[in-house]
Chains A and B, each alone.
Chain A
Amino acid sequence: MNMTIAWITTRGLLGRRRSWLLLPMPIILIGVTAVGLGFDAPAADLIDGVLIGLGVAVILPLVSLIVGTGVLGSEIDDGTVVHILTKPIPRSRIILAKLVVAATVSAVTIAVPMFVAATMIGGAELGLGFALACVAGAIAYSALFLALSVVTRRPVLVGLLYVVIWEGLLSNLVAGTRTVSVQHFVIKFAAELSGSQLFTTTVSTAVAAVMTVVFTVLGTWLATQRLRSFSVAGETS
């Protein structure tokens, strides 16, 4: 972990216009929850439709995607990454700093409104369950999208394909694909941590826990490896 890189990354991230997209998301989540409660919707429907359908399936990956590709992908795009790479710093420490910033910003942006919304629906226990589960999800997603920033030139597109096609479509149709779906790990964690019987998924807690660690470690390792061999495109390429 390198504090100077974390400092530059945070300032760069929060200074970008794209980051403003993060602002309305917590408000939308809490707003929709309030409207649902106003119409006396049952808790199970609100958990399924709002907390999972909107919060876990849409806002969590979207926030993580914007932030996760923003901490390194943007610097690769505009060329400023060279300033960090021309320093005698192990590449693993650069990636670690980027990951910590991405995961922290994503986790705070999503966990706080999730806590508020879930507490409104089912009390503090449900709130805490969803908040902590989203923190774990934010870490795994951040590692994944960080790795995508170094692996592909179009990390946002590839990230969206994963979220929309794999998680949104396949993992809801084919149960087996859920073992590589961060969304389902988060749902399982939230159910386990809150003790709620109102929702669950087919992924076991052990698989969810192990796979979250695998996503995080593998993403970090892959990003580090790719950054070690980072090539700047030449004039003839």
Chain B
Amino acid sequence: MEHRKPRTKGSPVSDLDLRGVSRWYGNVVAVNDVTMTLGPGVTGLLGPNGAGKTTLLHMMAGFLAPSRGEVLIDGDATWRNPAIYRKLGLVNEREAVYGFLSGKEFVRASAKLHGLPDADAATRRAIELVEMADAQDRRMDTYSKGMRQRMRVAAALVHDPAVLLLDEPFNGMDPRQRMHMMDLLHRLGAQGRTVLFSSHILEEVEQVSGTVQVIVAGRLAASGDYRTIRRLMTHRPHVFAIRSSDDRRLAVALMASDSVAGVTLGKDGLTVHAGDYGTFTRALPRIALDEGVRVRQLIPSDESLESVFSYLVSA
């Protein structure tokens, strides 16, 4: 898989480990017994607003003590341990920047605070990575939201960290900036960095990452490849869009199969409601062969994160 490649240069690959992490505020439990390991590649932290994503990210970034459990990067706790920032970059949700600095000064300050031997070269590299070289000499309070976000990513990447955490990085971005940020996250993951970003918008996570950690009401509701998660939930109906050489004939044959709950015949082919993912996908080729129908297209049409998510929330 593309996002599991080892890093070709720079610092070594790092793992982020959460072991039985909980966080409560008085009687309110914000994060409840979350255990996960994040390795190289892009992972989406998905959940509705108020699910505990930001609390979890703050604990990962060492800005909040877990009430119970531990958060470790390569075995070192993140809380009260500034040394972890050598391996960690954070782009938090609050988009506050030093508006009185130019983008370049801002990134260069980051490089110097990291004590990099060649701060200028690191600054240039980071700004090029986010494609902000043209605007780097302007004061940051003249930037658009998307530009500020990219400069913050550049500052978080200036020391080439193995782990990058981003809280709602697509918030307030226009579609073009969104595409650019998605492409950047893809590239960072492909380089072997451990990239985690949070989002409450399913299509963002779907487009950027194959791996998701779904958090609902403070608990880890599901984890892994989102298509796999969907398949695991076999008791849920699955919807497929099918186009074939003879849709009507195939529809009749499918209705006779136990694995099919319903078929709708439309202009663009069939919409099949299957009771079980595995049984149906095994049965379809046999039925088509028996009927002499050629299946031209088979698309699991509700395989979007939106449907996975609504199942998980209602479950």
Contacts and interface: CB of A to CB of B under 8 A. Distances in A.
B98 A8 contact: yes
A237 B98 contact: no
B112 interface: yes
A18 interface: no
Given A87-B82, A228-B80, A234-B23, A5 B113 contact: yes
Interface in B52-70: 52-55, 58, 61, 63-65
B169 interface: no
Interface residues of B, number: 40
Nearest to B56: A234
A181 B101 CA distance: 38
Nearest to B111: A4
Interface string A207-234: 0000000000000000000001111101
Contacts of A78: 96
A88 B161 CA distance: 12
A204 interface: no
B100 A11 contact: yes
Contacts of A21: none
Interface in B92-146: 92, 94, 96-98, 100-101, 106, 109-110, 112-115
Contacts of A4: 109, 112-113
Contact of A87 (B23, B64, B110): B110
B98 A80 contact: yes
A2 interface: yes
B19 interface: no
A86 B88 contact: yes
B101 to A, nearest CB: 7
A231 B65 contact: yes
Nearest to A11: B100
A12 interface: yes
A229 B98 contact: no
Given A78-B96, A79-B94, A88-B82, A234 B55 contact: yes
B97 A80 contact: yes
A103 B296 CA distance: 76
A236 B65 CA distance: 15
A235 B167 CA distance: 12
A78 B84 CA distance: 24
A89 interface: yes
B5 interface: no
B166 interface: no
| Max count, chain B CB within 10 A of own CB: residue among A2, A84, A86, A231 | A86
Interface string A5-30: 10110011001000000000000000
Given A8-B109, A83-B109, 7 more contacts: A5-B113, A8-B98, A82-B96, A87-B113, A229-B80, A231-B63, A234-B55
8 contacts: A11-B101, A85-B82, A86-B88, A231-B65, A234-B54, A235-B49, A235-B55, A236-B50
Closest 6 CB pairs of A and B: A79-B96, A234-B55, A79-B94, A87-B113, A236-B30, A232-B63
